[in-house]
Amino acid sequence: MPKDQSQTAAGFELDQHDDGLDLAAFHDGIKGRFEFMAEVKYGEVDRSDGKKIEENIKNEWQLADSLSAVNSPLRINLYGKERIMGKPIISTAVDHEPWAMGSNPNRGR
């Protein structure tokens, strides 16, 4: 049975600077979690000596680093001039090659 979840804590903060005041969004980082649990039994169904396999897989990924209000490009200017922000650095996903269902070219590596 798969279970997945993403999690972050986010909010808005007033960012006062020399030329004005902005309302800026922030978050403490974004994590993704995945958990897969499986139980397989084989052998005689009505006998207790059948073999049983249990597998639990848990993975967690850091999807985004924390973002402070001062560095946030997500902002609304309340008065004065908006704080000019550079383009955010966006990291690319890990290189991967898709494969057809049922065939994993990386199996056994």
**pLDDT by residue (tens digit) across 63-88?**
888 888 888 888 999 999 988 877 76
The one-letter amino acid code at 80 reads G
Higher-pLDDT residue of 30, 48: 30
Number of domains in the chain: 1
* 92 assigned to some structural domain: no
Question: For 6-22, what is the mean pLDDT?
Answer: 89
* 55 assigned to some structural domain: yes
Q: Tell me if 34 sits within 8 A of 2, measured CB to CB.
A: yes
* 26 assigned to some structural domain: yes
* 98 assigned to some structural domain: no
Q: Which residues pair with 71 in a beta bridge?
A: none
* 74 assigned to some structural domain: yes
Question: For 79-104, what is the mean pLDDT?
Answer: 71
Cβ contacts of 35 within 8 Å, gap of 6 or more: 2, 3, 4, 56, 57, 58, 59
Tell me the whole-structure pTM to 2 decimals: 0.52
Closest-CA residue to 27 (of 81, 83, 65, 84): 65
